[in-house]
């Protein structure tokens, strides 16, 4: 039984290592997250007046709006061998995500900066 558990853990670790999302994949997933945050109204309580005007003007073209918002964000990638840690801050919001198995997992979602 221990041998089977060891093999399963080893297979999970090897597959996590080879399926970590790369920088391009992470950027695409951040863009998708921004688009869904815009559509869901998660960014409507921004404190920066310029960001509020920008968000209001570009709701008609959500992908372009997400790309413009992404330019104002600070994104830090940290390679942890089996997964990637992604920290993004900007416009009074922050999120910490973990990239593994070709996806980003963001426990807690988008939070207000303290």
Q: Is the pLDDT confidence value at 38 over 80?
A: no
- Is 97 within the bounds of a domain? yes
* Selection from 4-8, 51-55, 71-75 with the highest mean pLDDT: 4-8
Q: Is the pLDDT confidence value at 8 over 90?
A: yes
Whole-number pLDDT of residue 113: 73
Q: Is the pLDDT confidence value at 48 over 80?
A: no
pLDDT tens digits for range 59-82? 677 787 778 778 888 888 888 888
Q: Is the pLDDT confidence value at 19 over 90?
A: no
Residue identified by tokens 């960014």 is 43
- Is 23 within the bounds of a domain? yes
- Is 96 within the bounds of a domain? yes
Number of domains in the chain: 1
Which structural domain, as residue segments, surrounds residue 86?
18-112
- Is 86 within the bounds of a domain? yes
- Is 4 within the bounds of a domain? no
Whole-number pLDDT of residue 111: 78
- Is 103 within the bounds of a domain? yes
- Is 10 within the bounds of a domain? no
Question: Whole-prediction pTM value?
Answer: 0.69
Q: Is the pLDDT confidence value at 9 over 60?
A: yes
Cα–Cα nearest to 30, from 79, 93, 82, 103 = 103
Contact predicate 2/10, CB 8 Å:
no
- Is 82 within the bounds of a domain? yes
34's CB contacts (< 8 A; 6+ apart) are 66, 69, 70
């Amino acid at each position: 039984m221990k041998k089977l558990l060891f093999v399963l853990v080893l297979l999970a670790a090897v597959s996590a290592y080879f399926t970590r999302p790369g920088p391009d994949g992470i950027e695409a997933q951040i863009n998708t997250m921004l688009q869904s945050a815009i559509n869901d109204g998660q960014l409507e309580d921004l404190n920066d007046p310029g960001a509020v005007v920008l968000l209001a003007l570009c709701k008609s073209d959500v992908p372009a709006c997400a790309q413009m918002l992404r330019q104002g964000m600070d994104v830090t990638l940290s390679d942890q061998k089996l997964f990637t840690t992604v920290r993004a801050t900007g416009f009074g919001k922050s999120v910490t995500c973990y990239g593994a198995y070709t996806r980003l997992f963001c426990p807690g979602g988008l939070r207000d900066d303290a």
